[in-house]
Structures are given as structure tokens and as C-alpha cells.
Amino acid sequence: MKLSKRGEYALRSLINLGIAAKVGRSLVRVTELAKAEDLPIKFLEQVMQQLREAGFVESVRGKHGGYRLAKASSQIHIGQIVRLIDGPLAPIGCVSQTAYAPCNCPDEAHCGLRMLMLDVRNAIAAILDRYTLADVVEVTTRKMVTSGRALPYSSPAEAPAPRSKARTRRPHAHTSPTEGVIHQLLGDYAI
């Protein structure tokens, strides 16, 4: 049930771009993104292209160029990214909602394996399609703040200082069927 390196790098970079956006930094270079997570630059360049072509990030070329999110991080669902990079969430094609393919079992209706894998698919999708980049960024930055470390991408020049940002997220109060770590952390208002 692996996430590819490509997918991991994409998500890590998007999280970094999300932090940058939150902190008022308008552009981040690939080299910065690569250094921040220790990723191979040329490989990451490819990944960023893919994210740009899919409309998740936009770029500015030339000197002082870089990447930024193309939409609000709350509009980018993790499932979208994983599907883009790694394909369907479903363990087998015959339970995929976005890329169904019949399996070779004689009769899908009697296939217990299929039903089990449908449950798995739904469990995965329930998480990855529920949470957004904003959620992951929130958890990451909150953790950083509580442990007293400065957020990266504190804009050196052009930033209007991160205004303390009135709560924008829905509260995740009793809204969740899958109550995992992320849910707990987002619910924890005592920063």
C-alpha cells in the first residue's frame, strides 16, 4: 500500500508551499523546497511540473522566480494529489471510484475480497479526501509553534507579516467518521 517517493515529495513540497503562503512568502524556489526536505533537485523539478500542469501550483519564471500554491490550501485535498501522482486510491481496480476496472473474478457480486477491498478503499478515501493541505499545514505549523521553533519561509523582504489569522478552518467538531491523529490535533484548540 505504498506511497511513491514522487508522491511523498509532492506532498512535502506542497506543505512547504502552504507554510510559505501562510507566512506571507509569495514565492519559493525549487532549490529551497529541495533543501528543506533534502530531496533531489532535478527530480523535484519534474514533480513540480506535474503539479503545475494539474493546476495545484503556479510558477514565476526567470530570476527571482519560484512556485506558489495556485489555490487556497483549504481547496487542495490530499486525495487529489495522491491520485494525480500515484493513481487510484483503491487497492484493486474493481473498487475504484475514479478509475474502475473489472477484475477477473467470475462474479463481483459474490466476491468477498472485493467487498473487503471496497472497505479499505473507502477508509483511505475517507481520510485523504476529507483532509486538505490546509489541515496538514495547520498540524505541522502548530506542532512547530508549540515546540518553540520558528516557522520557515519567514519572508525576508516582501511580506506583510503573518497576521495572526482568525480561525478559518471548520472546527471538526463531531463531523468525523474517521477519528485519527489528525482529527485529534485539529480538534485541540489549546495551542
Binding positions for a second copy, rule: CB under 8 A: 1-3, 8, 11-12, 15, 36-39, 78, 82, 86-92, 103-106, 109-113, 115-120, 122-124, 126-128, 131, 135-140, 143-144, 147, 149, 178, 180-183, 185
Distance in angstroms (rounded) separating the CA atoms of residues 151 and 170: 23
48 contact choice in a second copy, DNA, none (CB below 5 to 8 Å, kind-dependent): DNA
Among residues 11, 26, 8, the alpha carbon closest in space to that of 69 is found at: 26
The answer for residues whose C-beta is within 8 angstroms of residue 153's C-beta and 6 or more apart is 16, 19, 20, 23, 25, 28
Distance in angstroms (rounded) separating the CA atoms of residues 169 and 33: 26
40 contact choice in DNA, a second copy, none (CB below 5 to 8 Å, kind-dependent): DNA
Pick out residues in 83-112 that bind DNA (CB under 7 A): 86
11 contact choice in DNA, a second copy, none (CB below 5 to 8 Å, kind-dependent): a second copy
Whose Cβ is closer to DNA: residue 31's or residue 154's? 31
Q: From the CB of 17, what's the least distance to DNA, in Å? A: 11
- String of contacts with DNA for each residue 49-78, x by CB under 7 A: x--x------xxxxxxxxx-----------
Q: From the CB of 129, what's the least distance to DNA, in Å? A: 20
Question: Any idea of the CA torsion for 9, 180, 79, 118, to the nearest 10 degrees?
Answer: 130
